[in-house]
Structure 1
Amino acid sequence: MQQTTSPSPSGNILQSASHVIITGGSFVVGSQSNVTTTVNEPNKWLEFLHRKVAHNAILNAGGRADAVKCFPGTREEVLARIEAWIDGKGINRERRIFWLSGPAGAGKSAIVQTLAERCMARGVPMINFFFFRGDFTRNRARSITPTLLYQLFTLYPELKPLVGAVFGEKPMILSQTQYDQVEHLIQNPIRTIQEDSIYHQPIVLLIDGLDECNSAGKHEQEVLLQVFHGLISCENSPFIVLVASRPEPHLTMTFNEVGSCAESIFLDENYRPSDDIRLFVVAELTRIKNTHHLGRTLDDHWPSESSISAIVDKSSGQFIYAATVLRFIANSSASPALSLDKVLGLRPVKKSSPFAELDAIYTYILSQVEDWDATKDVLAAQIFNSAMREPMGRPVHITLHTILHPVGYQKHELASYTSDLTAVVKFEHRRDELIFYHASLSDFFCDSMRSGEYHIDIDAFTERIAPAHIKGIWDLASSIVSFLVVARVNQPTPSVDEALTSCPPHFEWRRTIESTVDPFVYWFSWFLEILQKLYFHKNNQLYQLILRNWLIWFRDLNIVPPGIDFESAELANAIWKEIITTKSNLVKGETPCAQQRAKKTPLWRRILQAP
């Protein structure tokens, strides 16, 4: 079991962060916030636009862990049909939007990646955006217009002065709706340059993983579909759009509204995926046999036809199963024959589950982990982090070490605990985070019926780390992270109650961060709201005790004038006024450490008295 360690300056979560913004009531660790920028100066708009581009969302971006394409010779029927649509052959040209859908792991992203590369090879004008839920730089809609525009500049450099004029007239255009952004920055400028051309070649817009856009839930995905429909429906539009996603109900209904304007493919057995999977499996096992360090121990008849058929049959038409199995065999240090035998000996937990076979593979891979308790914590921290939200509901990214350090984990340990899981996850050292190769993996862990003994209870994880974060506060950043962690608590436990009622750790407010006072007040006010939700109706007496405790802690930071109001939480103002008017005395409920801290000169007074 890990021992809790005390924070030290070397563990400062802001020390090595490259994107730390504290402004306008928003605090983000390792992420980005919206920043208002003036773009009226010549060419400043272009620099501003480039900062908004999601580079990982573009074809062949170096930061994409999921950049896969179709194995040669596979999905040819699907690719041919879509390319015929792109070329306007044999399909109603009025259908200018194409929906490529299918279950998780069916290979949609590989098809879009392959289409994009083929468009480039054939000289077909093409722009693209690859959404991915696990990458915060490309799982939101706000960067889609800048990213598409960035690619259009490469195809049509003459667009730049037209777009620059738009920024001159509308410097806040990127803060407006998706409709306005696409209309003024893409639709109108493209129409202008094409009016001067006698050749109107279609521009292909490829959108992959729309269902992984997390900006504002399902509504934002629907809005983007409607925006794309508007883009291709305007008069003389050069655009045609392909969207790939899972067949989520809300997307199905939105496509139904589009009606006759849409062409579609659902990746099912009609396209004979088992034939393609067999081709892929045979080729990959041959490669493993030729490259694995124990490949020379395999006999001439390995793999057997029955083994190949077993993998194909268990794939159920989804490439994700075959890809996971083959990655496991290739990455295992054991003989490929032994690894394949272990895979074939697995049995699904539940026959009724569509992911039963995949779950069986996940379960076996997890059974090989040496220290499951530690690995489980790292996985739980990643799932916890992916759902982290700041007060306005925007995602907040913090490092795995930041989440796990208060419960005793050191940064250099984290990658080791997931080293047995290379078939399903990737540890990103630069960003100190895990990348799940498949979106279904998180669902697997959180569903006890699917994962069984490998179930990850995020509520229990939160209730365990919350007391450690509260007691481990030692600076501005760690206090805000603690507020974020407490906000994820659904049902307070005795350990959470004890941590919130104990004397919170005190830290000195450095003069170098005086500009962060207002944002910190914003975060603290939000924290009081969280306390109200947790305790006010369930245990009002305990709520008042905890509220008083933290208001005294906040007062003793000596950072704000006594006249501040806390209207966000019940009873907060009354208790606040009480403790600031009797600060020279030991107020009922105050601890000796709080009384001692109260003797210090407030920062706000030192600021006013400074020469």
Structure 2
Amino acid sequence: MFDYSTNHSDRVNGMQLLQEHMAPSALYDSSERFDPPKCDEDTRTGLLEELWGWVENPSTVDRMVCITGPAGSGKSALQQTTVEEAAEHNHLLAAFFFSSGDARRNHPGGFVATLAYQVSQNIGETREPMIQAIERDPRIFERSRETQARTLIVLPIRKALALSNASPSSWPSNIFIDGVDECRNEEDQSHLLRILQSLAISERGHLKQSGLLYHIELSNYDATSDIRLYLRRKLHDIGCNSEYARTPTGPWPPSKDIDTLVDNASGQFIYASTIVKFLSDRRRNPFKHLQLVLTWAPGTNRREQPFASLDALYASIFLAAQEAYAKSRDTEDDLVIVRSIRMFQLLAKHSIKPHVSSMEEILSLDGGEIQIIMSDLHSIVKSWGNQAGRLSLTFHHKSIEDFLQDPKRSRKLFISDVEVALIWLEICVRVVKSADDSVIQGLSARSNDWDNCHWTLFSPLNIYMTSLETVLFEGTDVQINQAGLLLKSATFWTHFTTSCKFVSARDMNWGMLMSRNMKSLVNKARSLGLSGSDPNWTGILTSIEKWRDMVNKLHEDEWRPSSEHFRLMGK
């Protein structure tokens, strides 16, 4: 707490109070942001020229620039490079760099004070009216941020403009904000954007008047050539400065290795910079460790972790999304976001694309819940639904999948493929067991005529197969026994086989595909000795084989479906 005594012998020092409420680590040149990310020489030249054109043109109609893109696409590097250039040419009015990992700049508490301090330094004429405003109202920093912005930035600039010797054409006019999405609270993020808008449309003088938003989406820019240049230059320098001998001798890095790294980067600069940082450690042999990077695969048991900084980024995104979801839903389940992503991954892996609405019903979610789950993952998830309303998960970068599938990388966020498959098996059994007779019989109609309830039943028929395959081929004995316990329900098998009969009679290709998959599963189960050692699996395998024989008879046109064949056992 600050003592704002009105004792005349101890006058409040306005500048001191301003500095006490700012966030020094948010400054572009703060010593606490040592070696911030920047664009390497001769890279991102087109984008930097585009941004610089905006910086140098005070009369442009686009009064606000917004840079968006996936995590690791280079947004902060572009911002830092542009800010440093703007400062060098007297175009920088103020800048603020948010960071979720810094308690002083992962919230907007010191935001206005930090901008105001820089305004006072870069436009000297604003300093006195700003200090006077603080000394008149020492509790200004407890007021709304809109009031702070107006009192400490807008009004001092207006007073400076009113001076007879004012020369605004020589004043800087650009404010840069980096990482708004790293401000922890979504309401605070929205609040910040409103403050920035109010500054941009200030109706008089030096701050820019209303205009259009200029949007730069980094996904629309091909960074391949820049990444190639960056990797070639950086790795060459590392090789030249290394004390380790290269065997065999020759140009390093080889072009084929650069090609592999560029391909793995998939346009994401953070992948390339992570590799460079890993190989730059003087304690490591760069020639040997480059091969480690090139041959790394999920689950590799190695002491070295080349993607540690990348993993930290992904973990922070998932944890922040989980925190926001838990807060909005009042849940203590600290893996619900990652678990959902892993479950959707299994579907995408096997090209299962259920309707989003039916998936929400299968998972017992409220309508629109999947969108809420995905809302804070936009920086790593490229898309989760297609135009037809089907669930289809794709990531911006393959390394996200690798991260989730490797326990050494994702650590406490790790959920194995088999755990995911067991979750799906339990859900499939529940949905199929509870299906109404009319819904099951409705599967005989064309899929175009199905209602959501039919898709809700049809999807588990497919998911069941892939989940059971995962457990049998990858699970431990304990996990396989768990699956056996889940699948021993007679009601489930009655509903499952009858549902499959209807679909197979209508779509023979689907039926034969299921039959082949069933055969593979039966063979695997028998090779594990399940048929003779586990009574649960004995019944399950018998049921699977009977179902497979039924499909084969359908294919031979020896079996004629009729309503009598589909009478359902009571629950």
- TM-score scaled to structure 2, two decimals? 0.52
Deviations 1:317-369 (A, max 9, x none): 1111111112112226343222111111124x5xxxxxxxxxxxxx7697437
Do the aligned partners of residues 296 and 306 (structure 1) sit closer, same or farther apart at CA in structure 2, a change above 3 Å counting?
closer
Amino acid at match of 2:30: A
Superposed displacement of residue 137, structure 1: 1.8
Aligned to 2:57: 88
Count of matched residue positions in the alignment of Structure 1 and Structure 2: 335
Match of 2:129 in 1: 162
Query: What are the within-5 Å matches in structure 2 for residues 177-576 of structure 1?
Result: 177-196=144-163, 197-200=166-169, 201-214=171-184, 217-239=185-207, 261-268=212-219, 270-295=220-245, 299-331=249-281, 333-347=283-297, 349=298, 367-368=303-304, 449-457=404-412
Does the CA contact (< 8 Å) of 1:132 and 1:139 recur in 2? Answer: yes
Q: Is the contact made by 1:131 and 1:213 (CA closer than 8 Å) also made in structure 2?
A: yes
2:4 aligned with 1:38, yes or no?
yes
Q: Does 1:110 pair with 2:77?
A: yes
* 1:386 Cα deviation from its structure 2 partner: 13
Structure 1 unaligned regions, length at least 5: 1-34, 242-257, 350-362, 393-438, 461-611
Structure 1 Cα separation of the partners of residues 179 and 320 of structure 2: 21
Moved more, 193-202 or 227-236: 193-202
SS in 1 for 2:234: helix
RMSD: 3.9
CA change 1:138–1:446 in 2 (3 A) is: farther
How far the C-alpha of 1:48 sits from its partner, in A, is 1.7
Q: Contact between 1:166 and 1:185, CA under 8 Å: does it hold in 2?
A: yes
Matched, 1:135 2:102: yes
The verdict on how the C-alpha distance between 1:451 and 1:320 changes in structure 2, with shifts beyond 3 A counting, is: same
Tell me, in whole angstroms, the C-alpha distance in 1 between the residues paired with 2:410 and 2:81.
36
Structure 1 residue 74, shift from structure 2 partner: 0.7
Secondary structure (helix, strand or coil) at the match of 1:171 reads coil
CA distances 1:298-319 after superposition (whole Å, capped 9, x unpaired): 6222211111111111111111
Residues 254-282 of structure 1, C-alpha deviations (whole Å, 9 max, x = no match): xxxx9x621010112x4321111111001
Residue 176, structure 1, aligned to residue 176, structure 2: no
**Percent identity between the aligned chains?**
26
Measured after TM superposition, the shift of residue 452 of structure 1 is 3.0
Runs of 5+ in structure 2 lacking a partner? 328-378, 381-398, 416-571
Q: Distance in 1 between matches of 2:206 and 2:183?
A: 25
Moved more, 132-141 or 190-199: 190-199
SS of match in other structure, 2:176: strand
CA distance in 1, matches of 2:315, 2:227: 32
Q: Which amino acid aligns with 2:143?
A: Q
Q: How far 1:159 sits from its partner (Å)?
A: 1.9
- Bigger Rg over Cα: 2
Instruction: Describe the SS at the equivalent of 1:96.
Output: strand
The equivalent residue for 2:555 is none
Q: CA 1:448–1:321 in 2, change beyond 3 Å: closer, same or farther?
A: closer
Q: Secondary structure at the match of 1:456?
A: helix
CA distance in 2 between partners of 1:39 and 1:446 (Å):
58
Distance 1:448 1:307 in 2: 22
Q: Which letter maps to 1:107?
A: G
Q: CA deviation at 1:238?
A: 2.5
CA contact (8 A) 2:4 2:12 kept: no
Given that 1:37 and 1:48 are in contact with CA atoms closer than 8 Å, whether structure 2 keeps it comes out as: no
> 1:443-486 deviations in whole A, cap 9, x for unaligned?
x99998443354433899xxxxxxxxxxxxxxxxxxxxxxxxxx
Instruction: Output the CA distance in 2 between the equivalents of 1:275 and 1:445.
Output: 22
Residue 173 of structure 2 aligns with an amino acid whose one-letter code is I
Q: Please give the alpha-carbon distance, in whole angstroms, between the structure 2 residues aligned to 1:127 and 1:295.
A: 48
Q: Which residue of structure 1 aligns with residue 519 of structure 2?
A: none
Higher relative contact order (CA 8 A, sep 6+): 1
Distance in 1, matches of 2:319 and 2:217, equals 33
SS in 1 for 2:251: coil
**Cα gap change, 1:131 to 1:296, in 2 (>3 Å):** same
- Structure 2 Cα separation of the partners of residues 298 and 71 of structure 1: 30
Please say if residues 168 and 206 of structure 2, whose CA atoms lie closer than 8 Å, have aligned partners that are also in contact: no
Change (3 A) 1:67 1:448: closer
Mapping for residues 64-75 of structure 1, pairs under 5 Å = 64-65=33-34, 67-75=36-44
| 1:47 alignment partner, one of 16, 26, 42 | 16
Task: Say which structure is richer in helix.
Answer: 2
Cα distance in structure 2, aligned partners of 1:209 and 1:344 = 31
Structure 2 residue 29 is the aligned partner of structure 1 residue 78:
no
> Does the aligned pair in 1 maintain the 2:56–2:91 contact within 8 Å?
no
Deviation of residue 42 (structure 1)?
A: 3.5
Cα distance, 1:293 vs structure 2 = 1.9
Which residue among 62, 66, 85 is the counterpart of 2:31? Answer: 62
